[in-house]
Amino acid sequence: MSEKKTNRRDFLFTATYAVGAVGVGATVWPMIDQMNPDASVKALASTEVDVSSLTPGKTITVLWRGKPVFIRRRTEEEIAEAKSVKMEELKDPEKDEDRAKNPEWLVMLGVCTHLGCVPLNDKGDYNGWFCPCHGSHYDISGRIRKGPAPTNMTVPKYEFVNANTIKIG
Amino acid sequence: MSDQEYIPKSKFGKWFNDRLPLLSLASHLTDYPTPKNLNYWWTFGGILTFCLITQIVTGLTLAMHYIAHADMAFESVEHIMRDVNYGWLIRYIHANGASMFFLAVYIHIFRSLFYGSYKSPREIIWIIGIIIYLLMMAAAFMGYVLPWGQMSFWGATVITNLFSAIPLVGEGIVTWLWGGYSVDNPTLTRFFTLHYLIPFLILGLVVLHIWALHVPGNNNPVGIDIKKPSKDTVPFHPYIVIKDGFALLMFMIVFAFFVFYAPNILGHADNYIEANPLVTPAHIVPEWYLLPFYAILRSVPDKLLGVIAMLSAILILAALPWLDTSKIRSAVFRPLYKQFYWILVADVLILGYVGAMPAEGLYLLIARVATAYYFLHFLVILPVLGLKEKTLPVPLSITDPVLGGSPNIAMAKNKESLSQ
């Protein structure tokens, strides 16, 4: 290889490209970032739900950040069924205890982890939920058992503000 | 491109043409030498141009009345249907126009597949065409979201969620596409913007598509290279203009039938229910023209692989000029390819049918077999066939077999007896 001396012009080219790249990046980024959730969307981060009217075996659906959240008050049999499932049978192994801190209450995003449809209550082969779009079956703990969905339905951050009120988010 | 230099007759024409050669361009387009044996399958280029212009004109007028807001979009579409003068007509033309556009584009694509129009030296025309097709699907999908009905909302949810299959960054991309944590008003406004933009991108690509076409000239049913101009060609005007015009009239009869007699037959009743983020319709299906790809998506039991299979099914077409190893273009002279061609047509129709059915039991099995065959056709059958197939002798010119003066007279007679 012939040795090439770095001269003044090479330095100016490199410096111009570098500054130009930074300039283009700084101009393009606002154009891209404007599409991300804005301040008003982010502000609606939490929802409080009164669950006093919910009887065992019933599910209500509430809207949180534009997404449905299932709140199910489970019966004794349902809790027993959810706890009896062996980890080897699960596609996305997760203990029921980790999903429902208070086993009577299951709170999770009512969004199928396949392509985002809302699964139907009390349907499917595992007495839980069934997604009508592409046929994913979830059990009574909201865990994926059959179908194309890769993971269990997501449990959002939530807490009991008092005995009758759940705060999601 | 033009073989002779064009000189305008009038003095003003000459003055203008020296400064902006628009008249030379017009002359090139009218005199453009076209193979004289083009059949009616070649008229769909003109029909597609008509479809694009129709969508742009009706879309512009709809945009004068439509309101891109999650609270008002559904109502504004009903307002167009009930209150706006001829709003129903314009909207039905636009909605059915999308279906007609896809009908024509599928015929156009399958014509290329049969006559080998994608082969050298027309690869760039073909690839531009595939890009146009992808943009058409994007435009159609976003347009379907705008009325903000149940199918709009859940179609948008499902399709945007396809991106969540991408490892690591998928969820972030989906949130970015939505502009929130679910499909909502920010999604609607950006879809409206892009839906408005894409047709003009397509228009630009159509210009490139035609430009690239005018370099080698049209392929033809015999699929051989021809001299231009020669006894094998006719000028575009008036011969092809009249033929394209007649075909367009026939096409418009079909178009008008849907607009006036069955305007909702290709749509879904669920889309006359306003979008509800709490309830997914029991049976989600995309518009008919996306069904084969939807069937491929659902036939793979893994989320990421399903998305990859669906995208590959479309993108594999771009590699077609290199996957098809046969030097002979037209299926007329490829007896085996001709049979595989029709099997592929049937395969795609079957995929379309099972795409509309629930993904379970026998339907799922059929979808899986048909998906496997689709890829087998492009990845195995085509490359091998080009090397193994014994093709029929190809005539030396378009005119020769007709006049009986060619060494391929036997072939020409054989073909005649086959077609009877």
B175 close contact with A: CB closer than 8 A: yes
**Cα(B207)–Cα(B203) distance, rounded to whole angstroms?**
6
The pLDDT of residue B66 is above 80: yes
Which residues in chain A have Cβ-Cβ distances shorter than 8 Å to B175?
A: 36-37
Whether the predicted model's global pTM rises above the 0.90 cut: no
Residue B320 located in a structural domain: yes
Listed residue (A122, A129, A140) closest to A80, CA to CA: A140
Q: Per DSSP, what are the bridge partners of residue A159?
A: A167
Q: Using alpha carbons, select from B84, B6, B83, B97 the residue that is nearest to residue B52.
A: B97
Query: What pLDDT score was predicted for residue B403?
Result: 64
The answer to whether residue B47 scores a pLDDT higher than 50 is yes
**Domain presence at residue B21:** no
Q: Does some domain include residue B14?
A: no
State residue B281's pLDDT score: 87
Could you tell me which residues come within 8 angstroms of residue A145 by beta carbon, excluding any fewer than 6 positions away? A89, A90, A91, A124, A125, A126, A128, A137, A138, A139
Q: What is the pLDDT of residue B229?
A: 82
Helix (H) or strand (E) holding B89: helix B87-115
Number of domains in chain B: 1
For every residue of B338-391, DSSP letters joined together read HHHHHHHHHHHHHHHHHHHS-SSHHHHHHHHHHHHHHHHIIIIIHHHHHHH--P
Per-residue model confidence as pLDDT tens digits over B139-160: 999 999 999 999 999 999 989 9
User: What is the DSSP secondary-structure string of B194-251?
Assistant: HHHHHHHHHHHHHHHHHHHHHTT----TT-----SSSTTEEEIIIIIHHHHHHHHHHH
Q: Which residues of A are designated catalytic?
A: 134
Q: Which two tokens stand for residue A2?
A: 């012939």
Q: How high is the pLDDT of residue B209?
A: 98
pLDDT (tens digit, 9 = 90+) per residue, B288-347? 999 999 999 989 888 889 999 999 999 999 999 999 999 999 999 999 999 999 999 999
From chain B, pick out residues whose CB is under 8 angstroms from the CB of A43: none
For residue B217, the model assigns a pLDDT of 95
| b/e burial code for range B385-395 (CB count within 10 A of at least 16 → b) | bbeebebeebb
What local confidence, expressed as pLDDT, does residue B1 receive? 42
Q: What is the ipTM for the molecules in this complex? A: 0.78
Residue B399: C-alpha distances to residues A43, B69, B122 (Å): 74, 60, 23
What value does the mean pLDDT of chain B take? Answer: 92
Range of the domain at B122: 28-419
Is B170 at the interface with chain A, CB within 8 A? no
Containing B28, the helix (H) or strand (E) segment is: helix B22-31
Is the pLDDT at B2 greater than 50, yes or no? Answer: no
Q: Assess contact for B225 and B330: CB atoms under 8 A.
A: no
Tell whether B7 is covered by a domain.
Answer: no
**CB within 8 Å of B337: residues ≥ 6 apart:** B326, B331, B385, B389
CA gap B394, A107 in Å, rounded: 70
| Measured distance CA(B272)–CA(A54) in Å, rounded | 32
For B181, which of A65, A134, A135 is closest by C-beta distance?
A65
The answer to whether the CB atoms of B157 and A149 lie below 8 A apart is: no
B-chain residues near A119 (CB < 8 A): 280
Residue A47 has pLDDT above 90, yes or no: no
Residue B253 neighbours by CB distance under 10 Å: 8
pLDDT for A123 equals 86
Distance from CA of B363 to the nearest CA of A (A): 13
pLDDT > 90: what percent of chain A? 43
User: Does residue B234 form part of some domain?
Assistant: yes
Size of chain B in residues: 420
| pLDDT, average across residues A116-125 | 89
CB–CB of A66 and B180 under 8 A? yes
Report the alpha-carbon distance of residue B277 to residue A68 in Å, rounded.
7
Are the Cβ atoms of B359 and A132 closer than 8 angstroms? Answer: no
* CATH number for the domain that contains residue B347: 1.20.810.10
Residue B412 half-sphere exposure, CB side, CA atoms within 13 Å? 16
Between chain A and chain B, how many beta carbons pairs sit less than 8 Å apart?
A: 90
Contact B301 A115 (CB under 8 A): no
The residues, any chain, with a CB within 8 Å of residue B375's CB and separated by 6 or more, are B309, B312, B313, B316
Residue B202 lies in a domain: yes
Side chain identity, residue B288:
W
Q: Are B182 and A65 within 8 A, CB to CB? A: yes
The predicted structure's pLDDT at residue B412: 52
Residues of B in contact with A118 (CB under 8 A): 277-280
B313, B293 Cβ separation under 8 angstroms: yes
B126 in a structural domain: yes
Q: Is residue B327 part of a domain?
A: yes
Say what the pLDDT of residue B420 is: 45
Contact A66 B186 (CB under 8 A): no
